[in-house]
Amino acid sequence: MQYATLKEECRQLFPLIGSGRFVTAPVVTEDGMPIQDPLVLKETNAAKGLAVHHQDNNNSSRIAPNSLQKVTDKIVVQWLLTLHQIGLDVVRTDRSLVFYEKQENLSKLWDVLAVYAWVDKDVGYGQGMCDLCSPMIILLNDEADAFWCFERLMRRLRGNFRCTESSVGVTAQLNELASVTQVIDPKLHNHLELLGGGDYLFAFRMLMVLFRREFSFCDSLYLWEMMWALEYDPDLFLMYEMPESASEKAVGSKGKSKSIRQCGKYEREFLKSGSKDASQSPLPISVFLVASVLKDKSTKLLQEARGLDDVVKILNDITGNLDAKKACNGAMKLHKKYLRKAKKP
């Protein structure tokens, strides 16, 4: 019901929402002037039978594009500017899958992303969200269910899409990847640094969209489940979030032992290493998954990479050819190795 309300709010601003169609051409200029693009006009007319002029009773500046009136609400303009980019990404997402041969499924993906961009005005839409949303559309028949699953996923990952001129949203994870590689494979780390890849930006995409493009569709979903199953434990997170004195009182030695038994394998290894407080919270398992991929290709990288272009090419060649189970096993082994080596003075 709530999704239907949000979608209707978006439809009032732009009539193609929920029409079974979508746009790949720009709708407005950056200053809010409607773009009289023939493709946009054709799709809009098909959606409503005429070029729509919607005026919000509470804000006269909220007028649908392709009217003769300028859109002056900056929030609406910003949202409208994203719609064609969403459309361009939609038609490129998982196109090898039969599911997206149907226009209605492409449109459903566009609708969900358009509504999310309107709801999360702080982050809006970023390239890569299509890859994260697509599995929800494919696996869940109900569009509202797909939206809320995607919204929940974005609560974990929205920080990945916070980019500025000086940094990208996954900068912290890239720095952690550099630290991990330096510990577990210093020779490879030094080689990458010599090539100018010490910032590990070549791994940006893997972390940004959780390996959707490096693994097959089914393997990437297997990987997601494994990642979250390895990390998640409510009792453990409760212990992290509580002040130290309160956590000791609430959990106690018996309770703490129970929490260790209940947590996933990844978290259990972290606790065994002697870390117990939030300031020492474990690195994301995704960092060790990337490290596992780099370790698997380390010989090729050391022998053949003579520049960053070579690094990118070698990593791009693995797209769709990785094995999720092998990567998970490799990540867990590297995690143990890292904890063991990191403890040494």
pTM score over 0.85: no
Question: Both tokens of residue 231?
Answer: 């990390």
How would residue 238 be classed by pLDDT, with cut points 50, 70 and 90?
Answer: very low
Does residue 254 have a pLDDT over 70? no
Does residue 241 have a pLDDT over 50? no
- 134-148, 241-255, 271-285: range with lowest mean pLDDT: 241-255
For every residue of 263-317, which 3-state class applies, written as one string?
CCHHHHHHHHCCCCCHHHCCCCHHHHHHHHHHHHCHHHHHHHCCCHHHHHHHHHC
Does residue 71 have a pLDDT over 90? no
How would residue 291 be classed by pLDDT, with cut points 50, 70 and 90?
Answer: very high
What pLDDT is recorded for position 243? 43
The predicted-structure confidence for 226-235, as pLDDT tens digits, reads as follows 888 876 554 4
What pLDDT is recorded for position 63? 44
Question: How many Å apart are CA 219 and CA 229, to the nearest integer?
Answer: 15
**Of 325 and 53, the one with more pLDDT:** 325
Q: Domain 166-345, what fold?
A: Cyclin A; domain 1 (1.10.472)
Look up tokens 């004195």; give the residue: 245
What pLDDT is recorded for position 273? 56
DSSP 41-70: HHHHHHHHSS----EETTEEEEE-TTSSSP
How would residue 265 be classed by pLDDT, with cut points 50, 70 and 90?
Answer: low
Going 65 to 136 to 210 to 95, the CA torsion angle's sign is: negative
What pLDDT is recorded for position 43? 59
What pLDDT is recorded for position 263? 56
The amino acid at 335: H
Q: 206: closest CA among 89, 90, 318? A: 318
Does residue 125 have a pLDDT over 90? yes
How would residue 240 be classed by pLDDT, with cut points 50, 70 and 90?
Answer: very low
Question: Both tokens of residue 179?
Answer: 């630290």
- 151-155, 269-273, 289-293: range with lowest mean pLDDT: 269-273
Selection from 15-29, 126-140, 152-166, 228-242 with the highest mean pLDDT: 126-140
Q: Domain 2-161, what fold?
A: Helicase, Ruva Protein; domain 3 (1.10.8)
Measured between alpha carbons, how far is residue 287 from residues 70, 152, 270, 292, 331 in Å?
46, 21, 14, 9, 8
What pLDDT is recorded for position 236? 40
Does residue 244 have a pLDDT over 50? no
Question: pLDDT over 90 for what percent of the chain?
Answer: 48
What pLDDT is recorded for position 33? 84
How would residue 31 be classed by pLDDT, with cut points 50, 70 and 90?
Answer: confident
Residue 322 contacts residue 312 (beta carbons within 8 Å): no
- 165-179, 204-218, 254-268: range with lowest mean pLDDT: 254-268
What pLDDT is recorded for position 62? 47
How would residue 54 be classed by pLDDT, with cut points 50, 70 and 90?
Answer: very low
Does residue 171 have a pLDDT over 80? yes
Q: 160: closest CA among 211, 215, 214? A: 211
**What's the mean pLDDT when you consider all of the chain?**
80
The domain segmentation of the chain, as residue ranges, is 2-161, 166-345
